Each structure stands twice: as structure tokens, then as C-alpha cells.
């Protein structure tokens, strides 16, 4: 219980708050960690990332599309 995450909010004295953070958050309930506060979780959040737009994923889709084009060309000729 001693090594549970602590609130990192800066107090008016300049020192970190150090109160125990709300579960799943990085702030205590006094500093914006209250239940229901903050953004929506998952896909509803504007910062949600799917991993579909990494350089590797884009390259893979491009290569598959190219292969399909080549395949179509080959079957056309026969
Ligand atoms: Zn706090």
C-alpha cells in the first residue's frame, strides 16, 4: 500500500501533492482524478489510437494492393 501511485499535482507550496492517486489515474481525487472526470475511455476518446496508421501498416497495405494488381494483370492475359 506504501508504493501505490501518488498524485503528481503541484501544490501552492511548490511541492508535489503526494496524496494517493485514484485507481487508474495519475491524480488524487482533489486534483482532477475524481470518478467520471477527464476524457472518455476507448474509442470514444479523441486521442484513441488503433495502430492502423503506422508506417509499417501503411506499407503492408500498399504491398498487398500492388500484389493484387499484379495478380489481376496476370489472370487477364491467360
Ligand atoms: Zn493531489
Q: How far is the CA of 22 from the centre of ligand 1 (A)?
A: 9
Q: How far is the CA of 65 from the centre of ligand 1 (A)?
A: 51
The residue extents of the domains of the chain are: 1-37, 49-78
Q: Identify whether the C-beta of residue 31 lies closer than 8 Å to the C-beta of residue 9.
A: yes
Q: Which residue has the higher pLDDT, 36 or 28?
A: 28
Q: How far is the CA of 39 from the centre of ligand 1 (A)?
A: 18
pLDDT, averaged across the chain = 89
pLDDT at 33 over 90: no
pLDDT at 35 over 60: yes
pLDDT at 40 over 80: yes
pLDDT of residue 1: 56
Burial tier of 27 (Cβ tally within 10 Å: 0-12, 13-18, 19+): buried
In sequence order, the 6+-apart residues with CB closer than 8 A to the CB of 18 are: 6, 7
Q: What is the dihedral angle through the alpha carbons of 51, 55, 59, 65, rounded to the nearest 10 degrees?
A: 50
pTM of the model: 0.51
Amino acid at each position: 500500500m506504501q508504493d501505490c501511485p501518488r498524485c503528481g499535482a503541484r501544490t501552492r507550496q511548490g511541492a508535489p501533492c503526494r496524496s494517493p492517486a485514484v485507481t487508474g489515474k495519475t491524480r488524487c481525487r482533489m486534483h482532477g482524478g475524481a470518478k467520471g472526470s477527464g476524457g472518455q475511455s476507448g474509442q470514444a476518446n479523441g486521442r484513441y489510437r488503433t495502430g492502423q496508421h503506422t508506417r509499417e501498416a501503411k506499407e503492408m497495405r500498399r504491398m498487398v494492393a500492388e500484389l493484387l494488381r499484379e495478380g489481376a494483370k496476370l489472370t487477364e492475359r491467360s
